[in-house]
């Protein structure tokens, strides 16, 4: 299973190298800016990176002294090693490895960079402990991860048990048949869908979880959104965390660590304490629909229903999903302002129609 990403989510990533390179360059620039680092700050740094290898290559392009790269997927590591040979890069070291096992790397880092990785780890606490121990004084650990309590994470969590009865290749086939032109234009919807529905470990976290672990870091912690529990808004479904070890030196000593062990667990999205009565009612309806789908013996029907619902996660900006109340152009902004209600309404109507067509 360790090549899940290379064969599904990222299988188109190397087909247009130049545009992928530019996309990653922009992404790193955006994330460095949130961290409060200038791009020039990467020059001379020792960095640990995880993923497809494109982030690692970007850090090399920005002048990093040395980059150590790891990924669970040997296919991605092989592809990166080929690219390094082709470009004659000698200061990037890429090896296959599981971040939750003891790290097979010596030395300490100025930056450990995990974008889109943390929520896929089977033992995120074990990873966090090891990462924090490998920061140089003043060094930083950056995480970007799924935020619990958003509309998209909530809906996806309900869909995953049904996805577990299907295969990624069937979902890809259904999508390719229904949206061939969209796929030709951009493969990101398909990649996101396969990631969300099929990746073996998929968690969503609350920023407070990280604040609780700040004492362990022996330094400072910066995160976004420290006070929310539930949110159907259009805000980003990810959040960022930056642990920075104090420049004076050590991570927390053993006594502090024993007092504040790393405790980190994903939030179960399906049992969130919803206070909004409409969301509670729809959550119940959604669960009933998922139970009914699980009993549906035709896998194509299960796959089509799943695709329709998943499009509410990623294509909710498309007004076509809200044709029941398509706005006049003059009232678009009021309509968009009310999107979260409309989105819930659409989901409710869709589920009710499915329910009534099944009972006929
Ligand atoms: C959604 S991708 C994010 C990739 C990253 N943003 C990039 O573009 O390079 C998640 C990555 O985490 C890797 N991964 C998942 N679990 C892992 C683990 N336990 N140890 C190491 N890598 C892991 C996957 O192989 C995949 O490349």
Q: Are residues 66 and 195 in the same domain?
A: no
Where residue 253 sits, what CATH number does that domain have?
A: 3.40.50.150
DSSP codes of every residue in 46-88: EEEEESSSHHHHHHHHTT-SEEEEEES-HHHHHHHHHHHHHHT
Q: Are residues 9 and 116 in the same domain?
A: yes
Q: Are residues 223 and 137 in the same domain?
A: yes
**How many structural domains does the chain have?**
2
Range of the structural domain that residue 215 is part of: 4-150+202-269
pTM above 0.95, yes or no: no
Q: What is the pLDDT of residue 227?
A: 60
Q: Are residues 64 and 99 in the same domain?
A: yes
| Ligand 1 pocket member 77 (CB < 6 A) | no
Average pLDDT, the chain: 86
Say which residues have a Cβ less than 8 Å from residue 326's Cβ, sequence separation at least 6.
319
What is the pLDDT averaged over residues 11-36? 88
Helices 74-87 and 54-61, axial angle in degrees (round to 10): 30
Q: Are residues 49 and 124 in the same domain?
A: yes
Confidence of residue 201 (pLDDT cuts 50, 70, 90): very high
Q: Are residues 194 and 286 in the same domain?
A: yes
At residue 305, does pLDDT exceed 70? yes
Q: Whose CA is nearest to atom 7 of ligand 1?
A: 51
Last residue in a domain, options 241, 269, 297? 269
Instruction: Confirm if 191 and 9 have CB atoms less than 8 A apart.
Output: yes
Mutate to test the pocket of ligand 1, among 117, 188, 204 (most ligand atoms within 8 A of CB): 117
| Ligand 1 pocket member 52 (CB < 6 A) | yes
- Range among 53-57, 310-314, 320-324 rated most confident: 53-57
What is the pLDDT averaged over residues 2-21? 76
Of 158, 200, 174, residue with least CA distance to 291: 158
Q: What distance, in Å, lies between the first and last C-alpha atoms of the chain?
A: 41
Q: What is the pLDDT of residue 256?
A: 65
């Amino acid at each position: 299973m360790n090549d899940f990403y290379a064969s599904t989510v990222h299988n188109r990533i190397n087909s247009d190298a130049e545009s992928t390179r530019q996309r990653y360059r922009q992404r790193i620039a955006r994330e460095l800016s949130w961290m409060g680092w200038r791009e020039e700050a990467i020059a001379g740094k020792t960095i640990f990176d995880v993923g497809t290898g494109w982030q690692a290559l970007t850090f090399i392009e920005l002048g990093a002294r040395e980059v150590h790269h790891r990924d669970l997927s040997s296919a991605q590591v092989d592809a990166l090693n080929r690219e390094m040979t082709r470009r004659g890069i000698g200061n990037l070291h890429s090896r296959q490895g599981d971040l939750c096992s003891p790290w097979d790397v010596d030395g300490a880092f100025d930056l450990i960079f995990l974008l889109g990785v943390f929520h896929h780890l089977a033992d995120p606490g074990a990873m966090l402990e090891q990462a924090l121990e490998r920061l140089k004084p003043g060094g930083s650990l950056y995480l970007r991860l799924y935020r619990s309590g958003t509309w998209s994470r909530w809906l996806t969590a309900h869909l995953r048990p049904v996805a577990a009865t299907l295969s990624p290749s069937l979902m890809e086939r259904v999508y390719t048949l229904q949206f061939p032109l969209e796929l030709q234009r951009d493969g990101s919807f398909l990649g996101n869908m396969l990631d969300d529905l099929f990746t073996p470990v998929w968690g969503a976290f609350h920023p407070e979880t990280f604040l609780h672990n700040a004492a362990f870091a022996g330094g400072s912690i910066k995160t976004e959104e420290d006070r929310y529990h539930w949110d159907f808004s259009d805000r980003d479904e990810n959040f960022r965390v930056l642990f920075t070890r104090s420049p004076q030196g050590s991570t927390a000593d053993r006594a502090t660590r024993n007092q504040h062990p790393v405790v980190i667990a994903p939030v179960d999205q399906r049992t969130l304490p919803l206070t909004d009565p409409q969301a509670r009612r729809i959550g119940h309806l959604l669960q009933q629909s998922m139970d009914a789908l699980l009993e549906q013996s035709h896998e194509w029907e299960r796959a089509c229903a799943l695709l329709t619902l998943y499009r509410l996660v990623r294509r909710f900006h498309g007004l076509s999903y809200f044709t029941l109340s398509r706005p006049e152009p003059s009232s678009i902004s009021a309509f968009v302002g009310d999107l979260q209600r409309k989105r819930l309404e659409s989901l409710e109507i869709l589920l009710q129609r499915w329910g009534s067509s099944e009972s006929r």
